[in-house]
A and B are shown apart, each in its own frame.
Chain A
């Protein structure tokens, strides 16, 4: 009952922030006119602004935020480690590398799906590497060190590719790929990311029961009929789908997958399956709020989303490391 209330509350928050996100923008359209333009297509310029500029931005914030929250909760549940997060352990960075490679080699221009597919491939490599290096038996330190190594490598290669590009603007976009932004994205990006995300959401949602069983330990989980190998496959595939698709269109946005499950865990109790749904909604709310904030704080400067999420996330990360050390994990 309490859990249902929480989900309803979070959903309400997402809807409210979605509406605010649609209303915020430099065009300064009055809410009533904005709504009329969005739904009924009244006013040529207003309709273009609402349907082609603001709607995709708000939709992408929901989709990517939910994806990051969900992926973070799933990874933390599977690794039973509160520090696992797609951005921190290099999954987002590797996805960005895949996307940059697809763009710079011209593959993305040749066929549209090449962009999310390449990002997905980058994410698969990173998740695979992390599971191989840190696995479930490795401790927090191994996980973080492996993540640093993967992130550093992906970041360096992304910078290399962009520096080698003949395009004069490419090198300055290193910051976009590392910090993420939703500015001036279009419905094309929504349609490009959505199929992969839906697939990833489904894969990650199937993990719920297994994650609950895992809290009893691996042996107990296996006697309950949970296949760890299948879980690992779903986790790798699902995370790669959602993070790859999100990063391909909006760059690598960090810390959402860390902060949201951490805040919601005490509220949902010790049930990882519940945390999945709650974190998806929480992630959507957090990214919507961050994207509204970047437009209000520095409206004309395309402040990167990752700046805000890191300002919230990094102190929490330090706190978590401190606590992990104290508990001697």
Chain B
């Protein structure tokens, strides 16, 4: 009895594997037939690029985060689209031909969608300014909108070339976010800071990638400029460090804000952050 049960279970599994393979092959065949007709994005950064590039009606839904103006530069456009919360069931119900995700999207949701035979593509994060054109081109190719992508890349490169900091000293700046989070060497934020004419003290301190810099160290390093993001509603202890008397004393010297929305993703919108920093550089200098 037990053995027979085991054998039938195995047979069942083999059948279901074959079915999954068939579904996957069908999906691949459908994808290769032409540009995807129904695209769902479940990641803030793919939301931005898809909204900029997709044909009218091609993008069926974006993540709910894309409608939050605090982190999304295209919040108004996003609010006109149906929003999703990145959960496999709701995304599957939208019957997408293509789901756009990022490398930090929930693994469970991505794997489950793939098991359900949905095509999921993950766009790598642009970690340098030089990666942004390639990211845009990749998105254009996936959506079958190569011409739009080429135009966007051209605009971006022209905008980048036009934004050059004035000559002069290199003021020392620090990025200070909730929980004392900051960006060190090798990050997009560090590269943009350097391009705007600042020295990033977190990178000077040897921090590579994103990480935290204790408040004591920030105070001791006496930066010329403290750059913060914006506040979020509701209270959090994480953000309390931004109001700490020691940081307030530092900011009395010089402080500036750059909206998180402008550079949280490596998209052409980072030019807005760069422009803001170039203006801050002119002030500090």
Contacts and interface: CB of A to CB of B under 8 A. Distances in A.
Interface of A: 25-27, 29, 44-46, 48-49, 52-54, 103-104, 106, 108-109, 165-170, 172-173, 176, 184, 186-188, 299-300, 302
B143 to A, nearest CB: 29
B57 interface: no
A166 B234 contact: yes
A173 B236 contact: yes
B233 A186 contact: no
A202 B52 CA distance: 65
A49 B246 contact: yes
Contact of A26 (B178, B216, B238, B250): B216
B187 interface: no
The interface size bin for chain B is: 20 to 34
A52 B245 contact: yes
Nearest to B235: A103
A173 B215 CA distance: 19
A169 B222 CA distance: 27
**Which of B180, B211, B216, B245 counts the most A-chain CB atoms under 10 A from its CB?**
B216
Contacts of A176: 237
Nearest to B214: A26
B244 A170 contact: no
Interface string B214-231: 111101111000000000
Nearest to A167: B234
A45 B219 contact: yes
30 contacts: A25-B214, A25-B216, A26-B214, A26-B216, A27-B214, A27-B216, A27-B217, A45-B219, A45-B220, A49-B219, A52-B249, A53-B216, A53-B219, A54-B216, A103-B235, A106-B235, A165-B234, A165-B235, A165-B236, A167-B234, A167-B235, A168-B236, A169-B232, A169-B237, A170-B234, A173-B237, A184-B240, A187-B245, A299-B214, A300-B211
B235 A49 contact: no
Nearest to B216: A27
A170 B236 contact: yes
Given A26-B216, A184-B180, A48 B237 contact: no
Contacts of B220: 27, 29, 45-46, 49
Interface string B75-115: 00000000000000000000000000000000000000000
Interface in B234-285: 234-241, 244-246, 249-250
Contacts, number: 85
Contacts of A109: 235
Contacts of B58: none
Interface string B38-61: 000000000000000000000000
Given A106-B235, A173-B236, 15 more contacts: A26-B214, A27-B216, A45-B220, A53-B216, A104-B235, A166-B232, A166-B234, A167-B234, A167-B235, A168-B232, A169-B178, A169-B179, A169-B236, A300-B211, A302-B179
B212 interface: yes
A177 to B, nearest CB: 8
Contacts of B232: 166-169
A312 B250 CA distance: 39
Contact of A52 (B212, B214, B239, B244): B244
Contact of A169 (B238, B246, B249): B238
A184 B244 contact: yes
A97 to B, nearest CB: 15
A108 B239 CA distance: 14
Contact of B214 (A104, A187, A300): A300
B238 A300 contact: no
